[in-house]
A and B are shown apart, each in its own frame.
Chain A
Amino acid sequence: MDFSQFNGAEQAHMSKVIEKKQMQDFMKLYSGLVERCFNACAQDFTTKALTTNESTCVQNCTDKFLKHSERVGARFAEHNAEQMQGGK
């Protein structure tokens, strides 16, 4: 996105908005990840605490998702950069 035509006040306003959105995104990512990994990993309800297997599963699930989203982010950025070059 191109904010070069924005004046100082507008840029300041936008960075505040973006900061707020980043916080919202983070919370969404967090709750989404909990839901995803809980559904995938919590299987055994004969105990109250997470079993060793479930714990490892949650850890792997989280790691894998974050790596996944990092990779998608990289491809997304590449695509956007290509679009920018092609469009102008």
Chain B
Amino acid sequence: MSFLFGGNNRSVEGSVDPAKVEMAMAELDMITDVFNRLVTSCHTKCISSTPNNHRYVEGELLKGESVCIDRCTAKFFEVNKKVGERMSAMGNAAQSTGTFGR
């Protein structure tokens, strides 16, 4: 993931701020986790579930599979957003009433 650094070659200077590094690592872990779940979910839905692939007669992505992957990822992001919105709405409601999940 060297693209994250934008290719600037600054020399090593200063000290490491543990809090900052901790935050960056948590973000990195989250992104990796989302990506891995996305790959697994869409593979299950688009590739391994089709009877054609129970024995894998084909190594290329078929047209329909490619379309399925595109739609699957788009839906996954939408679900991600929706769940996030619902959860923050619940969080806000809980904060104003002092209860959670009621």
Chain A interface residues toward B at CB < 8 A: 1, 3-4, 6-15, 17-18, 21-22, 25, 28, 36-37, 40-41, 43, 53, 56-65, 67-69, 71-73, 75-76, 79
Contact = CB atoms under 8 A, between A and B. Distances in A.
A67 B58 CA distance: 12
Interface in B1-20: 1-2, 4-6, 10-17, 20
B66 A71 contact: yes
Contact of A3 (B4, B12, B15, B46): B4
Contact of B56 (A4, A13, A40, A79): A40
Contacts of A53: 55
Contacts of B36: 25, 28
A15 B1 CA distance: 8
Contacts of A18: 1-2, 4, 28
A25 B61 contact: no
B interface: dominant SS = helix
Interface residues of B, number: 46
A57 B55 CA distance: 6
Residue with the greatest number of chain B CB neighbours at <10 A, chosen from A3, A12, A63, A64 = A64
Contacts of A12: 12
Nearest to A14: B24
Contacts of A63: 59-60
Contact of B47 (A6, A8, A64): A64
Contact of B11 (A3, A8, A65, A69): A8
Contact of B39 (A13, A21, A61, A69): A69
Given A3-B24, A61-B56, A65-B47, 8 more contacts: A1-B4, A3-B4, A7-B14, A40-B53, A43-B55, A62-B59, A68-B42, A75-B70
A9 B73 contact: no
